[in-house]
Amino acid sequence: MTSFTPPIHGNNRHLPFGDQQDSAFYGRDILSVSQFDREQLTYIFDVAHEMYEMVARVGSFDLLKGKILANLFYEPSTRTSSSFTSAMERLGGSVIPINNVSYSSVTKGESLPDTVRTLEAYADVIVLRHPEVGSSALAAKYARKPVINAGDGVGEHPTQALLDLFTIREELKRVDGLTVTMMGDLRYGRTVHSLARLLTLYDVRLNYVSPDVLAMPREIMTEIEESGIPQASFTSLEPVLAETDVLYVTRVQKERLEDPNIHESLKGAYGVTTETLLRAKDKMIVMHPLPRVWEIEMAVDDDPRAAYFRQMEYGLYIRMALLAMVLGKA
């Protein structure tokens, strides 16, 4: 197995890449943001930053040579699926891609536990996206190899929340003291559920902007309240735009709406335009987990505050860090 220690730039911490099987992350599942403390997040972000510098310097390196990832997606994905593939391949490993389960034995009625037990016979780590809340936890119960939750229905998307937080840290150089405004579909948007929970580890203010029908779920608001983080809900962006440091916009998930007609009625009311940015801070960043549909007009892409394409790229470095960590190499 190749062991590689890169030169360190940009921080004072030595982050060796190589056998780290006594690490707290070795062999662990990544199922929920609630499993992390702030010290662990700092470590993940430092490793991700090293990955960022390594990719810029050498592109790919053989940290995970010989390791295999099973990428098991029961729901569509572009970014999560391809960034995990890219992460594994940039680290010298390889991937079993099951991006369309209709071509797998799932269509013959194979259960999730049996599918996972099959794949772990061939792979060292399993990345799973599934429409049901709790599916990753169920898979992890049956798997001996690490399972990484790549989105479980309207539940969580922990690797997205990690890359979101990494984006804020890289772009604004801090998280404490910021006002984060989440806008759009806060009811079904698993990315905002995970990010709001993760932000309770920091000293932030949270604003929620949505129509009542797509409001942040009560149980998540209760968790945030118990953490002592100030939060407030609005039906329009206007009252909070000027104070916002991070505007996190989400897609209205038409596929999860009980009444798809609601989708049409929301267009325009919860979108970001160049005119919106006129009233925002110069240093505010606009984030979006993507894909976007109508929530951010394309003219906004040219504004330096549009961070969503950089955010998507940061996902590669976070996923490289997580794969290296759970496989005992960082």
Using CB under 6 A as the binding rule, whether residue 71 contacts ligand CP is answered as no
Answer for the pair 256, 154: CB distance below 8 angstroms, yes or no. yes
Is the CB of 147 or the CB of 330 nearer to ligand CP? 147
Answer for the pair 176, 58: CB distance below 8 angstroms, yes or no. no
Is the CB of 179 or the CB of 194 nearer to ligand CP? 194
Residue 100 tokens read as 């369309």
Is the CB of 36 or the CB of 84 nearer to ligand CP? 84
Burial 92-114 (b: 16+ CB within 10 A, else e): bbebeebbebeebebeeeeebee
Is 80 an active-site residue?
Answer: yes
CB of 77 to ligand CP, least distance (A): 3
Which residue of the set 49, 67, 79, 292 is catalytic? 79
Instruction: Give the x/- contact pattern for ligand CP in 175-214, rule: CB under 6 A.
Output: ----------------------------------------
Using CB under 6 A as the binding rule, whether residue 100 contacts ligand CP is answered as no
Answer for the pair 166, 314: CB distance below 8 angstroms, yes or no. yes
Instruction: Give the x/- contact pattern for ligand CP in 35-54, rule: CB under 6 A.
Output: --------------------
Answer for the pair 197, 34: CB distance below 8 angstroms, yes or no. yes
Using CB under 6 A as the binding rule, whether residue 290 contacts ligand CP is answered as yes
Stretch that binds ligand CP, among 39-47, 78-86, 225-233, 257-265 (CB under 6 A): 78-86
Q: Which of 33, 44, 69, 79 binds ligand CP (CB under 6 A)?
A: 79
CB of 117 to ligand CP, least distance (A): 25
Classify 253 as helix, strand or coil: coil
DSSP letter assigned to residue 215 = P
CB of 83 to ligand CP, least distance (A): 8
Burial 288-324 (b: 16+ CB within 10 A, else e): bbbebeebbeeebeeeebbbbeebbebbbbbbbbbbb
Is 288 an active-site residue?
Answer: no
Is 157 an active-site residue?
Answer: yes
Stretch that binds ligand CP, among 15-23, 232-240, 289-297, 320-328 (CB under 6 A): 289-297
Answer for the pair 266, 252: CB distance below 8 angstroms, yes or no. yes
For the residues of 161-191, what is the DSSP string, one character each?
A: HHHHHHHHHHHHS--TT-EEEEES-TTT-HH
Instruction: Give the x/- contact pattern for ligand CP in 249-288, rule: CB under 6 A.
Output: ----------------------------------------
CB of 149 to ligand CP, least distance (A): 11
Q: Which of 71, 135, 136, 160 binds ligand CP (CB under 6 A)?
A: 160
Q: Which of 78, 111, 222, 265 binds ligand CP (CB under 6 A)?
A: 78
Rounded to an integer, what distance in angstroms lies between the CA atom of residue 164 and that of residue 143?
Answer: 28
Q: Identify the bridge partners of residue 247 per DSSP, sorted by sequence position.
A: 181, 286
Is the CB of 160 or the CB of 181 nearer to ligand CP? 160
The phi and psi torsions of 250 (rounded to 5 degrees) equal: -125, 155
Answer for the pair 244, 270: CB distance below 8 angstroms, yes or no. no
Is 108 an active-site residue?
Answer: yes
Rounded to an integer, what distance in angstroms lies between the CA atom of residue 6 and that of residue 65?
Answer: 16
Which residue of the set 49, 67, 157, 190 is catalytic? 157
Q: Give the residues lining the site for ligand CP (CB under 6 A).
A: 77-81, 160, 289-291
- Annotated catalytic residues are 79-80, 108, 129, 157
